[in-house]
Amino acid sequence: MTTKYIFITGGVLSSIGKGVTAAATGRLLKARGFSVAVQKLDPYINVDPGTMSPYQHGEVFVLDDGSETDLDLGHYERFIDIRLNKVCNVTTGQVYAEVISRERRGDYLGGTIQVIPHITNEIKRRVRMVGKATGAEIVLVEVGGTVGDIESLPFLEAIRQMRFDLGRENTSYIHLTWLPHIGATGELKTKPTQHSVHELRSIGIVPDAIVTRSDYPIDAEIQEKIALFCDVDAKAVIPMVTTPILYEIPLLLEETPIADLLLESLNLKARTQPDWSEWEKIVSEVQREKPQVNVALVGKYVELHDAYISVREALQHAALANGVELNLKWLHSADLEEDQGLETLNNVDGIIVPGGFGSRGIEGKIKAATYARENSIPYFGLCLGMQVMVVEFARNVLQLNKANSAEFDRSTPAPVIDLMPEQNSVTEKGGTMRLGLYPCHLQEGTKARDAYQVEMVEERHRHRFELNNDYRAELEDAGLICSGVSPDNRLVEIAEVKNHPFMLGTQFHPEFLSRPNRPHPLFTAFIKAVSKHAGIHKDV
């Protein structure tokens, strides 16, 4: 079967949930028996988001193969329950880098290299690669940015041409827009949608469906108005009203004809009757009144919650599985550097320190770890959070009071966290960390092994530093358990503090593999310990 492509563009403004819409639409198609993959086309010129500040871009989502990608790939993986690979995120930077390197090699000898056809052909090649690389029957392609942006024009031209290349029955176009609400008159306005569809049509793309995001329900009159001005059937105007429950979105879309419309336009018939019972259970569990637990997330980019989106989602999944309501307190690590800042940790039931880079706020994170250790508060460290836990332990239990990570103090007399030897020769910043899936062996009789219930796991990584083996024996003698190690025993992947209800850190990022219906075992174990601290679960 030829791979079928659904292209998703956005109009009016950004941040209206294009990634989630693509993800939820993918779920609808999977529920009808199709294998699905999703690709994000990002118009910026960076080769990948790996070198961007989280303030610019939010979280960097890491895939099995180690590619550093847009956070929307996290939505795709979580909603559709799939594992994507590097062809699923393309940037302008990658496209130009490829075309320019071919030009330097002499591949186009004599030719003038132009946006059309050279850049657009390269974009199309990468779009078609998704079908081949993933074997998916239906590929959803989300074009980043908003129609009208200069940067996205080559992508739009490329996806326009794909209908010509692949045929009408193999391509479908969805345009997502926003309907603003005028408070004074209580009206939803369609004009920006009309303009945006007009702009899209002027590029040559006629949408098959228009998904309208709004904070208020839309009525038939608005649907018809959009249909009339934008030249689609009224039933192809798909309402998507804001919901506070993220995982309700596939259920809301299921109530619309979008899946039928897409399958019809792609000349496909549903193979299975969708079964939403698991999702309905998740949503009703979210709605149910539950006892609350307070968890502090101590980070450096907390102003921008998107910087920790997978961590937040993984915590939510685990809270649902434990039957508790998560009250997440976002704490700036720099604020904890002042002593009185620690007061904010007074009534938390758990502390999570996620990944990060650079020294800003690091002492605040170390203080949070001390507080957790001394007060028996569950602590979960992810990557940098694990390294912080080890530094804290070395300083205050081993009494190496100048212990540090070499990342923050190159001349520390006790570099308990040090650069991995293979990183010594690395000079380039992009894509050069230890990235992607690596195996980890779990030691029996540890919290990690109890949580996973298996001997070997594979987790996703993104780091340059590691626990320094020169200090491993000393740390272990003092009560730090290296409960997860690489199969050759060279690299400590999980550490935990002995005689503490739950103080565990991972060198990898477990948050990337958590699913709403399948929370990550370590997050589940952490929230279980948190619930016990809050006096909710007594049986742990």
Q: Would you tell me the crossing angle of helices 120-134 and 153-166 to the nearest 10 degrees?
A: 60
Which window, 68-76, 102-110, 203-211, 352-360, contacts ligand GLN (CB under 6 A)? 352-360
Q: Do you know the residue count of the chain?
A: 540
Q: Which is nearer to ligand GLN, 178 or 393 (CB)?
A: 393
Residue 511 touches ligand GLN, criterion: CB under 6 A: no
Torsion of the alpha carbons at 16, 265, 163 and 121, rounded to the nearest 10 = 60
Which window, 10-18, 50-58, 297-305, 457-465, contacts ligand GLN (CB under 6 A)? 457-465
Which of 383, 463, 466, 500 is flagged as catalytic? 383
Instruction: Determine the Cα–Cα distance for residues 415 and 400; give it in Å rounded to an integer.
Output: 10
**Residue 122 bears catalytic tag:** no
- How many residues line the site for ligand GLN (CB under 6 A)? 10
Residue 68 touches ligand GLN, criterion: CB under 6 A: no
Residue 463 touches ligand GLN, criterion: CB under 6 A: yes
**Residue 151 bears catalytic tag:** no
The alpha carbon dihedral of 408, 410, 412, 416 has a sign of positive
> In this structure, what token pair is assigned to residue 261?
């419309």
**Residue 509 bears catalytic tag:** yes
Q: Are 395 and 367 within 8 A, CB to CB?
A: no
Per-residue binder mask for ligand GLN (CB under 6 A), 383-402, x = binder? xx------------------
Give all strands (DSSP E) within 153-214, no chain letters: 171-178, 181-182, 187-188, 209-214
Residue 407 touches ligand GLN, criterion: CB under 6 A: yes
Instruction: Determine the Cα–Cα distance for residues 405 and 521; give it in Å rounded to an integer.
Output: 28
Using left for φ > 0, alpha for ψ between -120 and 50, and beta otherwise, residue 58 falls in left
SS3 102: helix
Out of 163, 462, 528, 532, point to the residue binding ligand GLN (CB under 6 A).
462
Q: Which is nearer to ligand GLN, 28 or 362 (CB)?
A: 362
We find the least distance from the C-beta atom of residue 533 to ligand GLN, in angstroms, to be: 25
Q: Which is nearer to ligand GLN, 144 or 361 (CB)?
A: 361
We find the least distance from the C-beta atom of residue 529 to ligand GLN, in angstroms, to be: 22
Q: Which is nearer to ligand GLN, 193 or 405 (CB)?
A: 405
Q: Would you tell me how many other CB atoms lie within 10 Å of the CB of residue 297?
A: 23
Q: Which is nearer to ligand GLN, 154 or 415 (CB)?
A: 415
Residue 330 touches ligand GLN, criterion: CB under 6 A: no
Q: Are 231 and 9 within 8 A, CB to CB?
A: no
For the chain, give the longest Cα–Cα distance. Answer: 75
The site for ligand GLN (CB under 6 A) is made up of 355-357, 383-384, 407, 462-465
Instruction: List, by residue number, the catalytic residues.
Output: 383, 509, 511
